[in-house]
Amino acid sequence: MSSSLIERGRALLWPPALAGRISRLLALGVLLLLGFSLFALRQLSLQSGSEQIADLVAAQIATLRALQATDSTLARRGQGSALVEVLVQDAPPAAASQPWLPFAKRLVERLQYRLGDGATVLLDEQYDRTWLWVSPATVDGQWLGLAVPPFRQQATLLSFVVLVAAVLLVVLGGIGLARLLTRPLRELAESAPAMVAGEIECAVLSAGAPTEVQQLAEALTRAGQQARAQARQRELMLAGLSHDLRTPLARLRYALAIEPPTDATLAQQVEDDLEELDALIGLFLDLGRGRPLRGANQQLDLAEFLSHWLPRFSERPWRLQVPSGLMVDAPSLLIRRLLGNLIRNAEHHASPPYLISAGRVAGRLLIDVIDAGHGIPSDQRQRLLQPFQRGTTQALGSGLGLAIAQDLAHLLGAELQLLDADPQGLCVRLLWPREDASD
């Protein structure tokens, strides 16, 4: 659980996508720049501004003291002066206190310095104005209140404006920079399939694409050229192989036509075997060339198909439990190849009785090939589905049977499962997706 949270946090801070990483780096740079700007603003502007205001207020207080000394009338409690807006009270309001805002704190410190030792300066922040309370302000020791612009609202507004500007800068700059830097990669991704297929020689990149993207495009171009050259060589090899394999078949057909066997059943069986062999050659040549399977979407009645094909394929006593009318949508050649592989594997490595059953479970077609042998331990089943793997070192065979069967099942869109049979033995189950089989 903790490792998963750590991975999520790491992906959030440093995402795998290039655009996300660029946005994070840009945001970090803007935040650092913002912090430096605020520090510089405080040192160069706010500090000097607070000192200037403190000097002006100190001058006003000195003027008021001078006026009082010459018998001028200061504003009484709750009244304004014609010169400045001031209040004179015996004590400051209860809300007056030492400020914590850096600007105001610097202002108070500067004002206390200008007024000399013994001066006390408090701050009373109200909604519409801020009062500076100074003592002693008069000869009789009263407190003098001077109205100044509100600090908190101005500081809050300034911080909000700076924050919004920084966020907009991060978002807009991140989007623009990410698009600018990732556009060549998107162009390369769009051109890659056509490059590999040989439709275009090289990727179409916008002017000014990064060197790394250009190098990647050149590497993909070379890889596509090599893949096409290998495909042409494979085509030539398969064409020669097709000729070499089908020439003996043609001679056999010719010989069978000239001197047919006296046994008509045998002659028909030989002809059928030659046809099947020729079709298998064509099928696997098509697979080797990467072409679509011929004969796909062929509707087979599984019960009828097995009842005719299985006795010719195997002389062992196989029992069938297949309901009539159960249809499978697949090439008959691949079905014969797949089931034949599983049947030979059971006959070679297991014991009778043998059973082929089929049906539907939750709308999915399944075919079970069951024997009564010793089965396969559950911890060895995945290994035996790999090529050249055998159950024991003494077992005969190449170790390809189940691996080939699994590949054929994948070609048909089915899943091959190795299960325990009841009461003993192995059950090889072929399970089709619901949409790939129809009644």
pLDDT tens sequence across 276-302: 777 777 766 666 666 555 545 578 899
Query: pLDDT tier at 139 (50, 70, 90 boundaries)?
Result: low
Determine, yes or no, domain membership for 82: yes
| Domain identity same for 150 and 77 | yes
CA distance 376 to 364: 25
| Domain identity same for 337 and 416 | yes
Mean model confidence pLDDT for the chain: 77
| Domain identity same for 113 and 232 | no
pTM, two decimal places: 0.47
Determine, yes or no, domain membership for 185: no
| Domain identity same for 20 and 73 | yes
Alpha carbon 334 to its chain's center? 36
Q: Give the total residue count for the chain.
A: 439
Q: Is the dihedral of CA 382, 383, 387, 392 positive or negative?
A: negative
CA distance 203 to 230: 21
353: domain CATH number is 3.30.565.10
CA distance 433 to 413: 7
Determine, yes or no, domain membership for 166: no
| Domain identity same for 272 and 342 | no
Of residues 421 and 234, more confidently modeled = 421
- Domain holding 341, by residue range, is 299-436
CB neighbour list of residue 125: distance below 8 Å, 6 or more residues apart: 95, 99, 150, 151, 152
| Domain identity same for 32 and 153 | yes
| Domain identity same for 281 and 414 | no
Determine, yes or no, domain membership for 8: no
Query: pLDDT tier at 366 (50, 70, 90 boundaries)?
Result: very high
**HSE, side-chain direction, 13 A CA sphere, residue 8:** 5
| Domain identity same for 140 and 50 | yes
CB neighbour list of residue 404: distance below 8 Å, 6 or more residues apart: 341
What three-state secondary structure class fits 112?
Answer: helix
| Domain identity same for 27 and 151 | yes
Give the domain-ending residue among 270, 289, 308: 289
The kind and range of the H/E element at 135 are: strand 130-135
Give the pLDDT score at 310: 92
Give the domain-ending residue among 242, 265, 289: 289
CA distance 309 to 273: 12
* Residue 410 pLDDT > 80: yes
**Strands 143-148 and 86-89, bridge-based pairing:** antiparallel
Number of domains within the chain: 3
| Domain identity same for 271 and 321 | no
Give the domain-ending residue among 159, 177, 199: 159
Query: pLDDT tier at 38 (50, 70, 90 boundaries)?
Result: low
| Domain identity same for 315 and 387 | yes
Token pair 């945001």: residue: 27
